[in-house]
């Protein structure tokens, strides 16, 4: 369980870490974090949503992870750790690892949904948008195979594919 102070701390850390950062769509990165956080269903997911790229995007990832350990309960630490992509780790291994924690699996799903937001994808060249959609399709398929998602939870991806390819794919 997280406290109200920890919720504010997560938001503060995210703002401090990402204030000057823009996403691949050219928008402030905080928009993405707030969009992911808005999809969550409980305080733990909300905190992890704000922190899901905190360590990965840090110039000093070990220090960033230590900050998480000092300020949050173990369930949050574990979820953030599992969501942190590490160089040299295959995408499949990364997805498999994050599914071992329910919070990290759900936040990854929300992250993918945000990254496949049609309004955001339309800011990119069509070819780039299609490559991202394909990448996230593979991730979602693996999340389904590993039991972290249900097949019905991919409608957002099918809509994005339809918009950018012009027809529905399976």
Q: What is the mean pLDDT of residues 36-48?
A: 98
The whole-number pLDDT of residue 170 equals: 43
Number of Cβ within 10 Å of residue 70's Cβ equals 8
Q: 134 is written with which tokens? A: 């394909």
CB-based burial of residue 168 (10 Å sphere; 0-12 exposed, 13-18 middle, 19+ buried)?
Answer: exposed
> Above 90 in pLDDT, residue 27?
no
Instruction: Kindly report, residue by residue over 55-78, the tens digit of the pLDDT.
Output: 999 999 999 999 999 999 999 999
| Domains assigned to the chain | 4-165 (1.10.3210.10)
Instruction: Kindly report, residue by residue over 102-114, the tens digit of the pLDDT.
Output: 999 999 999 999 9
Interior CA angle at 152 toward 148 and 157, to 5°? 90
pLDDT category at 159 given cuts 50, 70, 90 is: very high
The whole-number pLDDT of residue 56 equals: 92
pLDDT category at 26 given cuts 50, 70, 90 is: confident
> Above 50 in pLDDT, residue 169?
no
């Amino acid at each position: 369980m997280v406290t109200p102070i920890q919720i504010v701390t997560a938001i503060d850390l995210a703002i401090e870490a990402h204030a000057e950062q823009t996403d691949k769509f050219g928008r402030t990165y905080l928009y993405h974090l707030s969009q992911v956080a808005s999809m969550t269903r409980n305080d733990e997911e909300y905190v992890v949503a704000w922190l899901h790229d905190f360590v990965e995007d840090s110039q000093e990832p070990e220090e960033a992870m230590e900050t998480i350990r000092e300020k949050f309960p173990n369930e949050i630490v574990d979820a953030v750790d599992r969501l942190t992509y590490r160089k040299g780790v295959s995408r499949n291994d990364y997805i498999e690892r994050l599914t071992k924690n329910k919070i990290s699996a759900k936040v990854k799903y929300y992250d993918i949904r945000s990254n496949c937001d049609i309004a955001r994808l339309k800011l990119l060249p069509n070819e780039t948008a299609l490559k991202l959609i394909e990448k996230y399709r593979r991730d979602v398929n693996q999340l389904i195979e590993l039991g972290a998602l249900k097949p019905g939870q991919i409608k957002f991806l099918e809509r994005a594919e339809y918009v950018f390819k012009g027809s529905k794919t399976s």
